[in-house]
Homo-oligomer: A and B are copies of this chain.
Protein backbone atom coordinates (compact mmCIF):
# COMPACT_ATOMS: atom_id res chain seq x y z
CA UNK A 1 0.00 0.00 0.00
CA UNK A 2 1.35 3.34 -1.01
CA UNK A 3 -1.72 5.34 -1.93
CA UNK A 4 -0.69 8.46 -3.65
CA UNK A 5 -3.11 8.86 -6.44
CA UNK A 6 -6.11 6.59 -6.42
CA UNK A 7 -7.57 5.81 -9.84
CA UNK A 8 -11.08 7.06 -10.32
CA UNK A 9 -12.10 3.65 -11.60
CA UNK A 10 -10.98 2.19 -8.29
CA UNK A 11 -13.14 4.58 -6.30
CA UNK A 12 -16.12 3.79 -8.50
CA UNK A 13 -15.62 0.11 -7.89
CA UNK A 14 -15.29 0.62 -4.15
CA UNK A 15 -18.69 2.22 -4.29
CA UNK A 16 -20.04 -0.83 -6.11
CA UNK A 17 -18.37 -3.20 -3.67
CA UNK A 18 -19.86 -1.35 -0.75
CA UNK A 19 -23.34 -1.76 -2.14
CA UNK A 20 -22.76 -5.44 -2.74
CA UNK A 21 -21.46 -5.87 0.78
CA UNK A 22 -24.56 -4.17 2.10
CA UNK A 23 -26.63 -6.67 0.22
CA UNK A 24 -24.59 -9.50 1.75
CA UNK A 25 -25.16 -8.07 5.19
CA UNK A 26 -28.91 -8.26 4.61
CA UNK A 27 -28.44 -11.87 3.63
CA UNK A 28 -26.55 -12.31 6.91
CA UNK A 29 -23.40 -13.53 5.26
CA UNK A 30 -20.48 -12.55 7.42
CA UNK A 31 -17.37 -13.60 5.57
CA UNK A 32 -16.58 -13.34 1.89
CA UNK A 33 -13.62 -13.96 -0.42
CA UNK A 34 -12.43 -11.52 -3.05
CA UNK A 35 -13.47 -14.01 -5.70
CA UNK A 36 -17.05 -13.95 -4.48
CA UNK A 37 -17.18 -10.18 -4.45
CA UNK A 38 -15.67 -10.27 -7.91
CA UNK A 39 -18.32 -12.62 -9.23
CA UNK A 40 -21.00 -10.64 -7.46
CA UNK A 41 -20.16 -7.36 -9.12
CA UNK A 42 -18.62 -8.54 -12.35
CA UNK A 43 -14.89 -7.85 -12.10
CA UNK A 44 -11.83 -10.01 -11.47
CA UNK A 45 -10.78 -11.08 -8.00
CA UNK A 46 -7.33 -9.56 -8.54
CA UNK A 47 -9.05 -6.30 -9.28
CA UNK A 48 -10.93 -6.41 -6.02
CA UNK A 49 -7.80 -7.10 -4.03
CA UNK A 50 -5.78 -4.48 -5.87
CA UNK A 51 -8.47 -1.87 -5.29
CA UNK A 52 -8.56 -2.63 -1.60
CA UNK A 53 -4.78 -2.68 -1.37
CA UNK A 54 -4.65 1.05 -2.04
CA UNK A 55 -6.15 1.59 1.37
CA UNK A 56 -4.76 -1.12 3.57
CA UNK A 57 -5.01 -4.78 4.43
CA UNK A 58 -8.53 -5.73 5.30
CA UNK A 59 -8.61 -9.45 4.76
CA UNK A 60 -7.39 -12.64 6.35
CA UNK A 61 -5.41 -15.04 4.21
CA UNK A 62 -7.11 -18.33 3.68
CA UNK A 63 -10.38 -16.84 4.91
CA UNK A 64 -11.43 -13.70 3.15
CA UNK A 65 -12.99 -10.51 4.43
CA UNK A 66 -15.40 -9.93 7.26
CA UNK A 67 -18.35 -8.43 5.47
CA UNK A 68 -19.40 -5.86 8.05
CA UNK A 69 -15.85 -4.82 8.75
CA UNK A 70 -14.96 -4.34 5.11
CA UNK A 71 -18.22 -2.54 4.53
CA UNK A 72 -17.55 -0.01 7.20
CA UNK A 73 -13.99 0.48 6.02
CA UNK A 74 -15.29 1.20 2.53
CA UNK A 75 -17.96 3.58 3.74
CA UNK A 76 -15.32 5.41 5.71
CA UNK A 77 -12.96 5.57 2.74
CA UNK A 78 -15.74 6.85 0.51
CA UNK A 79 -16.63 9.50 3.04
CA UNK A 80 -20.07 7.99 3.50
CA UNK A 81 -19.76 7.54 7.24
CA UNK A 82 -21.13 11.03 7.64
CA UNK A 83 -24.17 12.88 6.42
CA UNK A 84 -23.59 15.36 3.65
CA UNK A 85 -25.75 18.44 3.33
CA UNK A 86 -26.53 19.18 -0.27
CA UNK A 87 -28.05 22.14 -2.04
CA UNK A 88 -29.93 21.70 -5.29
CA UNK A 89 -30.09 24.66 -7.62
CA UNK A 90 -32.66 24.35 -10.37
CA UNK A 91 -35.96 22.64 -9.64
CA UNK A 92 -36.94 21.91 -13.22
CA UNK A 93 -37.54 18.47 -14.67
CA UNK A 94 -34.14 17.07 -13.90
CA UNK A 95 -33.72 18.87 -10.59
CA UNK A 96 -37.03 17.72 -9.19
CA UNK A 97 -36.35 14.23 -10.45
CA UNK A 98 -33.14 14.16 -8.46
CA UNK A 99 -34.80 15.64 -5.41
CA UNK A 100 -37.45 12.94 -5.47
CA UNK A 101 -34.96 10.14 -5.99
CA UNK A 102 -34.30 8.32 -2.74
CA UNK A 103 -30.97 6.82 -3.70
CA UNK A 104 -29.04 9.86 -2.57
CA UNK A 105 -30.47 10.03 0.91
CA UNK A 106 -29.88 6.30 1.28
CA UNK A 107 -26.19 6.95 0.85
CA UNK A 108 -26.09 9.91 3.18
CA UNK A 109 -26.66 12.82 0.84
CA UNK A 110 -29.39 15.01 2.24
CA UNK A 111 -30.80 17.62 -0.10
CA UNK A 112 -31.73 20.19 2.50
CA UNK A 113 -32.14 23.23 0.29
CA UNK A 114 -33.73 23.60 -3.14
CA UNK A 115 -33.53 26.85 -5.06
CA UNK A 116 -34.95 28.20 -8.31
CA UNK A 117 -35.82 31.53 -9.87
CA UNK A 118 -39.22 30.53 -11.20
CA UNK A 119 -41.88 32.31 -9.14
CA UNK A 120 -44.33 29.53 -9.94
CA UNK A 121 -42.08 26.97 -8.28
CA UNK A 122 -40.93 29.05 -5.33
CA UNK A 123 -42.99 28.24 -2.27
CA UNK A 124 -44.02 24.80 -3.49
CA UNK A 125 -42.58 21.70 -1.88
CA UNK A 126 -40.32 19.10 -3.37
CA UNK A 127 -39.91 15.94 -1.36
CA UNK A 128 -40.71 17.92 1.79
CA UNK A 129 -38.35 20.78 1.09
CA UNK A 130 -39.72 24.22 0.20
CA UNK A 131 -38.31 25.65 -3.01
CA UNK A 132 -36.83 29.06 -2.34
CA UNK A 133 -35.45 31.93 -4.36
CA UNK A 134 -31.79 31.68 -5.29
CA UNK A 135 -31.20 34.86 -3.31
CA UNK A 136 -31.11 32.88 -0.09
CA UNK A 137 -28.29 30.68 -1.36
CA UNK A 138 -25.54 32.17 0.71
CA UNK A 139 -27.58 32.19 3.90
CA UNK A 140 -28.76 28.58 3.52
CA UNK A 141 -25.31 27.26 2.68
CA UNK A 142 -23.89 28.81 5.80
CA UNK A 143 -26.70 27.93 8.20
CA UNK A 144 -26.96 24.34 6.97
CA UNK A 145 -23.25 23.76 6.61
CA UNK A 146 -23.74 22.74 3.01
CA UNK A 147 -20.67 21.36 1.29
CA UNK A 148 -22.05 20.04 -1.97
CA UNK A 149 -24.04 21.76 -4.70
CA UNK A 150 -26.00 20.14 -7.49
CA UNK A 151 -26.37 22.32 -10.56
CA UNK A 152 -29.47 21.48 -12.59
CA UNK A 153 -30.24 24.87 -14.09
CA UNK A 154 -30.42 25.65 -17.82
CA UNK A 155 -27.00 25.62 -19.47
CA UNK A 156 -26.83 29.39 -19.81
CA UNK A 157 -27.14 30.05 -16.07
CA UNK A 158 -24.81 27.23 -15.07
CA UNK A 159 -21.60 29.23 -14.74
CA UNK A 160 -23.33 32.02 -12.87
CA UNK A 161 -24.91 29.65 -10.38
CA UNK A 162 -21.60 27.86 -9.99
CA UNK A 163 -19.78 31.09 -9.20
CA UNK A 164 -22.33 31.91 -6.55
CA UNK A 165 -22.06 28.44 -5.02
CA UNK A 166 -18.30 28.80 -4.85
CA UNK A 167 -18.50 32.26 -3.29
CA UNK A 168 -20.96 30.94 -0.75
CA UNK A 169 -18.47 28.31 0.29
CA UNK A 170 -19.42 24.89 -1.07
CA UNK A 171 -16.44 22.58 -1.63
CA UNK A 172 -17.86 20.25 -4.24
CA UNK A 173 -20.12 20.71 -7.22
CA UNK A 174 -21.91 18.15 -9.32
CA UNK A 175 -22.71 19.65 -12.70
CA UNK A 176 -25.65 18.14 -14.56
CA UNK A 177 -25.57 20.69 -17.37
CA UNK A 178 -23.77 20.07 -20.63
CA UNK A 179 -21.41 22.98 -20.03
CA UNK A 180 -17.79 23.05 -19.02
CA UNK A 181 -17.65 25.02 -15.79
CA UNK A 182 -14.75 27.00 -14.43
CA UNK A 183 -14.06 26.66 -10.72
CA UNK A 184 -11.06 27.53 -8.53
CA UNK A 185 -8.57 24.75 -7.88
CA UNK A 186 -9.70 24.00 -4.36
CA UNK A 187 -13.22 23.17 -5.52
CA UNK A 188 -13.98 19.61 -6.60
CA UNK A 189 -16.08 19.56 -9.72
CA UNK A 190 -17.66 16.57 -11.38
CA UNK A 191 -19.74 16.51 -14.50
CA UNK A 192 -22.62 14.12 -14.89
CA UNK A 193 -24.25 13.33 -18.13
CA UNK A 194 -27.38 11.29 -17.75
CA UNK A 195 -27.83 10.42 -21.37
CA UNK A 196 -24.22 9.45 -22.00
CA UNK A 197 -25.01 5.94 -20.81
CA UNK A 198 -27.86 5.62 -23.23
CA UNK A 199 -25.59 6.91 -25.96
CA UNK A 200 -22.92 4.38 -25.10
CA UNK A 201 -25.62 1.74 -25.42
CA UNK A 202 -26.72 3.21 -28.71
CA UNK A 203 -23.15 3.15 -29.96
CA UNK A 204 -22.70 -0.47 -28.96
CA UNK A 205 -25.97 -1.45 -30.57
CA UNK A 206 -25.27 0.33 -33.77
CA UNK A 207 -21.59 0.49 -34.46
CA UNK A 208 -20.41 -2.64 -36.16
CA UNK A 209 -16.99 -1.42 -37.02
CA UNK A 210 -16.63 -0.81 -40.67
CA UNK A 211 -13.14 -1.86 -41.77
Contact = CB atoms under 8 A, between A and B. Distances in A.
Interface string A90-102: 0001101110111
Nearest to A210: B3
A205 B172 contact: yes
Contacts of A171: 205
- Stoichiometry (number of copies): 2
Interface residues of A, number: 66
Given A98-B97, A101-B97, A209-B3, A201 B148 contact: yes
Contact of A19 (B41, B178, B188): B178
Interface string A14-56: 1110011001000000000000000011100000000000000
Nearest to A4: B209
